[in-house]
Structure 1
Amino acid sequence: MRVVTISATYGTAGSVIGPAVADRLGVPFVDRAIPGAVAEELGCTLEEALAHDDRSEHGLGWLLSGAVRLPTATFGGVDVYLPGSMPLPPEDFVTHTEGVIRQIARDRGGVILGRAGALVLAGHPGALHVRLDALQSRRILRTAEAGGMSAREARKLVEENDRARTAYVRHFYRTDPASPTLYHLVLDSTTIPVDACVELIATASAALG
């Protein structure tokens, strides 16, 4: 079973490349299903799971980075912004997210976007770990073009997402998600065409498998 994790900075077309790679490899693309599975396991609402998800617009990464102004609380010795009533510690959600990712990799394979997949599945046999990244200036340009927004609006969106996703990985895994040592393949998808990125990832996955 093919397993690919993709860590994608904002503006690098991760949500386009991920499904295309999954289709090419004949495995599921796993993104939005993860918080749903976590919510079912914990017996909480999907909204509560999304509040702790690193891919959510206002998920835990946003709170840890201070991008969303909410009442403060302390956990793990770090002051962060948290919603007024979270019934379970954030660590519980992260632990269950890891469990869902490992089960998907073990049972059916798939292309997993975000959620520190390269760290969660670092020891999984045959798993390919990919990083999509580029100069911030190019990611801002791509974001502005795709969203029909000004460069200023795009810059704000890119910078806030970068802070949020980095904060999630730094807090729970004590590492920098941009470190190339975490990945087998690092691609600049703002320069290399999307189709070529998909082909490179699929070829590398087949080679590992």
Structure 2
Amino acid sequence: MSDRNVSVITISREYGAFGRTIAQKVADLLSLPLYGRDEIIKKVAKESGYAEEDIRKESEQMSRGARWMNTFLNNAAVYSSSYDEIFKAQREVILELAQTPCIILGRCGGHILSEEGIPGFHVFLFADRKTRLARAAQLPENQGHTGRDLERLVNKREEGRENYYRQYTGCSMGDARNYHLSLDTGRIPQDVCAQMIVTAVQSEQR
């Protein structure tokens, strides 16, 4: 993959791979706005009229069990239609944000830009399971979860994230061919990862 005149950086990541932390460091180094899950959800809610809670559920309920249960208890066509419409609204917001230089974290941002032929530099962050579990234990959303309970929770979040990506892109999130740069955040320090991304992006702009 090779794009010139890059103005947008997208960062996809495994759960617990320090995605938000590294994205913020890159944003600070380049003085660019960062749009992650919360920022994008708020903007989608404002522009589409969907409730923030419904938008969050659209991605959180992508684990196989939750997806099956919702489909079983509700009309499958209505369930799919409402969540697909939310994704379409999110897609429009991401395309709008990409009109000016920024960093987009998650939300299938890289795939959405690539589909539209919009230049971007696409990054994937991953780490070994031990690193990701340790990081997950530090996150406020997982407070009170330890041991096997934490592992089950992380498995659910990982499955949901992968299923969400596959549902709307037809690809595996971890396929390196979809990115310009993939970094192992379990081996490479966060500050170094951020600087590597900045250096790579700047080299693309020469």
Name the TM tier (shorter chain): 0.7 to 0.9
- Which of 13, 22, 26 lines up with 1:8 in the alignment? 13
Deviation of the 1:152 alpha carbon? 2.0
Partner Cα distance (2:49, 2:147) in 1 = 42
Greater helix proportion: 2
RMSD (Å), alpha carbons: 2.3
In the alignment, which residue of structure 1 is the partner of 2:129? 136
Alpha-carbon distance, 1:145 to partner:
5.8
Counterpart code for 1:74: A
Aligned partner of 1:25 in structure 2 is 30
TM superposition shift of 1:23: 1.1
Match of 1:175 in 2: 171
Please say if 1:49 is aligned against 2:32. no
1: CA distance between counterparts of 2:203 and 2:92? Answer: 26
Identify which of structures 1 and 2 has the higher relative contact order when contacts are C-alpha pairs closer than 8 Å and 6+ apart.
2
Q: Give the aligned partner of residue 61 of structure 1.
A: 62
The question of whether the paired residues in 1 share the 8 Å contact of 2:16 and 2:132 is answered with yes
* Greater displacement, 133-142 / 161-170: 133-142
TM-superposed deviation, 1:60 = 4.1
Find the residue that maps to 2:97 and give its secondary structure: helix
* Aligned-residue offset at 1:171: 1.4
Percent of aligned pairs with the same amino acid: 30
Structure 2 stretches lacking a partner, 5+ long: 1-5
Alignment of 1:47-126 (within 5 A): 47-52=53-58, 54=59, 59-62=60-63, 65-67=64-66, 70=70, 71-75=73-77, 89-106=82-99, 108-122=100-114, 123-125=117-119
Deviation readout 1:7-64 (Å, 9 max, x if unpaired):
1111111111111111111110101121112112222222222222x3xxxx3434xx
Q: Choose from 143, 147, 157 the match for 2:153.
A: 157
**Partners in 1 of 2:75 and 2:172 — Cα distance?**
24
C-alpha change, 1:144 and 1:60, in structure 2 (3 Å) is: closer
SS in 1 for 2:10: strand
Report SS of the residue matched to 2:76: strand
SS at structure 2 position matched to 1:66: helix
Give the C-alpha shift of residue 75 in structure 1. Answer: 3.6
4+ runs deviating over 6 angstroms: none
Which whole-Å CA distance do the structure 1 matches of 2:150 and 2:42 have between them? 29
